[in-house]
Amino acid sequence: MTLQLQYEFTSDLPLGRWFIGHMRGGRALFRTGPEEVRVPPGDVFVLNQPDACLGGAVADAVIDFAVLEPGLLHEVAQNASTEPGPVRILASHPVSGVVGGRWARTLAVARDLVTSPLALKSDLFTAQVSRLVAAATLETFPNTAMGDTGIADRRDAHPATLRRAVAFIEANPQNDVSVADIDRATRTSVRMVQLAFRRYLNTTLMRYLQQVRLHQASDELRVASPGGPVTVTSVAARWGFSTPARFSLLYRQEFGLTPVQTLRGEHPPLPVR
């Protein structure tokens, strides 16, 4: 979403979502509760707290926004939060100008991706792009996500948790699977599931899901006919990879060859999962 306008405003109700912006031109002042944020051109910023009313003024502003559901940040966080409930962003500005610039570039790429023909054909593709922006947001702004685990969690991260999580992932690789979905399927906390993957498989939950999708994509490429309707681009989109280039990079890391080589029948024996 891009806005270019000049006005003052006050909302009577909370927006209910995170609005993360890149001020490409003009100037703005925003108020959420007692906090007042002035945004000059070039800045990346958090517009609001989802549960607070918003006011402010903008003048000749050109702003690109990412609109994120509160639960999405919690789903993509690799660790739990210092507070109950969804992850919260704690500051309006990035931890540094460098990561702020990186976030703005990520948003520009995401905007191109969600307006591409691939996005119209695959809900999974669009969901993965949303998670890409959410992950970049967690890396850019101070937030309540943390990496520590408590004694009770360490005690409860049992192999049965891992078996249930693995079974759910391998039964649903084609779906828009989130951490919250796996949490419900395993009947444990997100923290326990993540700890089980780190402890017993030396990986993360989302990395394991990514590997399962890579193997599914590889199976599809191996049985396809070169020059037929199946392409590397279509397979990457079908299995939720944001770009063919990223898919190729991850594929080479996993299998030691490119997707194009597999499509041409040049694959070596696949490693056992």
**For residue range 24-50, what is the model confidence (pLDDT) as tens digits?**
888 888 887 777 888 888 899 998 888
- For residues 136 and 166, state if they share a domain: no
Residue 146 resides in a domain: no
Give a yes or no: residue 235 inside a domain: yes
Question: Which pLDDT band holds residue 214 (cuts at 50, 70, 90)?
Answer: very high
Give residues with Cβ within 8 angstroms of 60, minimum separation 6.
4, 6, 25, 26, 27
Position 22 scores a pLDDT of 93
pLDDT over 90 at 68, yes or no: yes
Are 84 and 189 contained in the same domain?
Answer: no
The band of 119, judged by pLDDT with boundaries at 50, 70 and 90, is low
Residues 24 and 126 occupy one common structural domain: yes
Q: Dihedral (C-alpha) 154, 158, 163, 165: value to the nearest 10 degrees?
A: -30
- Are residue 181 and residue 237 in the same domain, yes or no? no
pLDDT in tens, 127-151: 888 888 998 898 888 888 754 444 3
Task: Name the residue range of residue 234's domain.
Answer: 209-263
The answer on 189 and 62 residing in a single domain is: no
Q: What is the number of structural domains in the chain?
A: 3
> In Å, how far from its chain's centre is CA 225?
33
248 and 168 in a single domain? The answer is: no
Q: Which residues pair with 195 in a beta bridge?
A: none
Helices (H), 115-178: 117-121, 123-140, 151-156, 159-171
Domain boundary among 202, 224, 241: 202
Q: Is residue 17 part of a domain?
A: yes
First and final CA of the chain: distance in angstroms? Answer: 41
| Cβ proximity of 249 and 258 under 8 Å | no
Q: Is the pLDDT of residue 83 over 60?
A: no
Say yes or no: 9 and 40 in one domain: yes
Q: Residue 82: is its pLDDT beyond 50?
A: no
Question: Looking at the domain assignment, is residue 243 inside a domain?
Answer: yes
Q: Is the pTM of this model over 0.85?
A: no
CATH assignment at residue 12 = 2.60.120.280
Q: How far apart are CA 43 and CA 126, in angstroms?
A: 26
Residue 148: the pLDDT is: 45
